[in-house]
Structure 1
């Protein structure tokens, strides 16, 4: 059997009349006439086949049917009001989807996200981490923070933070390293960029030994392995300050080599939204306040 359409207006009038205990007061709250209130209540009574109010010498009194219906409607209208308030509160919220290199996300961005949210409470920032392999359009992103040279065809790029590389290892292992040449006696953990260790040894003025340690495609994984004492990893020191502060890693030598930098990128044919512009300005400003090298 089909259910009759619920007369939402009549249900609302009934809920107010029950709460106010008077058709006159209900009419005042709803800004209608008392006759309009009586009409809506009569319509609802006809629909359910039962009286909802009785007129007594002491005024309006709800029937058992009215008392049964009221709490259900009160809760329902309250829930609808809260939902509408949430929708109104989100009406001016702008979602920003950003792909972020995992090393940058964990080493720099995540500890500063609260500051961004305080500065831009109307931006719903959503982060998707990656190992520097990202396709902004295909993945439904607005922007991406990438590591490299910045030469990505079809993209606008803004340089953020330089990331020179230097060996990092556990404090126990570092006590065995008195000179860069001593690194030849330990396992040298490698990224997929094979020229990094030779470039660093060249900068240190030492002949590069055979590099035969394991190859990983994540700087975070390299850092974890180095912190466990498995060897020395060539890492962007600025991204692992937390590890150093915790005593998990240390930098045995001050020599570093340039390897690229982090960039904020987005498709050239995409018009920047207010949220994109705000995020860009915040990133540039925050990195400058940290005193990190950039442009």
Structure 2
């Protein structure tokens, strides 16, 4: 059946009647008379040469032929309704599915999303988090923000910024840490990347202790343990700037190590949509601001630590 000849009124009447199993309730929904709905359904039955309903004294019973037709109609009408709902303020709302590392989502991205929504209200951002293990294709994502070196098979990666790791702890523990050697005597909270603490001690020119204890798959969880006084975390200060500003956490030493960067990634086979272009440009702008702020913060921290040592 060619599209110009589709009996849309009849199909709509049948779909509504099938949901309600009532011509009367379908008529109320469609703002027509009960007779009009019954007439449209009869026209559709004549056109298809099939009985779609059995008329009962108290309602309708849909036939096997009606059950075969109904799912396709419901899916089609739902998709049309969803498409029409995406129009807002003269723009088509565009869906963008983003997966990101939980630490970056909580510590950096979410506080900036109000700006994105204000500037691009027609982009419907759908955010999911992970622990840096994500299958973009299987999860149907447009983009994923990942941490690493940017070398992933069949993945296009755009560098955002580094997030160096440093010692973070509550003030009560920070007061006990006079030199980096003192860190070795604390409970060391660690991530699943086993080389991080040895690398930090090497950068601090301290012999690393034997490291045992809890392993976390998320820096957010690890720092939460540190906030509860459970030990010393090795985490990116950039992602916990609010806790540092509130003095809930302190960074007792300027020693930092870098284990990679955050990258905006997508499948090379994925065509870039207008929503993806908008988000990529906005994210690049936010990342550039962050790199500049991190440079200023790092230089300021080094001067402050240097002044403390002189005093």
TM-score, normalized by the shorter chain, greater than 0.5: yes
The range that moved more, 99-108 or 209-218, is: 209-218
Supply the distance in 2 between the matched residues of 1:163 and 1:3 (Cα, whole angstroms).
Answer: 63
Corresponding position: 1:204 with 2:213 = no
User: Structure 1 runs of 4+ off > 2 angstroms?
Assistant: 1-12, 83-91
The 8 Å contact of residues 171 and 249 in structure 2, kept in 1 or not, is answered as yes
Q: Residue 250 of structure 1: CA displacement? A: 0.7
The 8 Å contact of residues 161 and 293 in structure 1, kept in 2 or not, is answered as no
Query: Which residue in 1 is equivalent to 2:181?
Result: 181
Identify unmatched segments of 5+ residues in structure 1: 13-42, 48-82
C-alpha distance 172-269 of structure 1, shift in aligned 2 (>3 A): same
Query: Which residue in 2 is equivalent to 1:255?
Result: 255
Q: Residue 229 of structure 1: CA displacement? A: 1.0
Supply the distance in 1 between the matched residues of 2:22 and 2:276 (Cα, whole angstroms).
Answer: 50
Supply the distance in 2 between the matched residues of 1:139 and 1:86 (Cα, whole angstroms).
Answer: 24
Supply the distance in 2 between the matched residues of 1:192 and 1:207 (Cα, whole angstroms).
Answer: 21
Query: Which residue in 2 is equivalent to 1:115?
Result: 115
Structural mapping, 1:100-249, within 5 Å: 100-249=100-249
The 8 Å contact of residues 161 and 292 in structure 1, kept in 2 or not, is answered as no
Q: Residue 211 of structure 1: CA displacement? A: 1.2
Supply the distance in 1 between the matched residues of 2:159 and 2:186 (Cα, whole angstroms).
Answer: 35
- TM-score by length of structure 1 reads 0.71
Supply the distance in 1 between the matched residues of 2:254 and 2:125 (Cα, whole angstroms).
Answer: 36
Q: CA RMSD in A?
A: 2.8
C-alpha distance 279-3 of structure 1, shift in aligned 2 (>3 A): closer
The 8 Å contact of residues 162 and 292 in structure 1, kept in 2 or not, is answered as no
Larger Rg: 1
- TM-score by length of structure 2 reads 0.67
Query: Which residue in 2 is equivalent to 1:89?
Result: 88
The 8 Å contact of residues 100 and 128 in structure 1, kept in 2 or not, is answered as yes
| 1:230-270 Cα distance to aligned partner (Å, 9 max, x none) | 11111011111112122221100001011111100000011
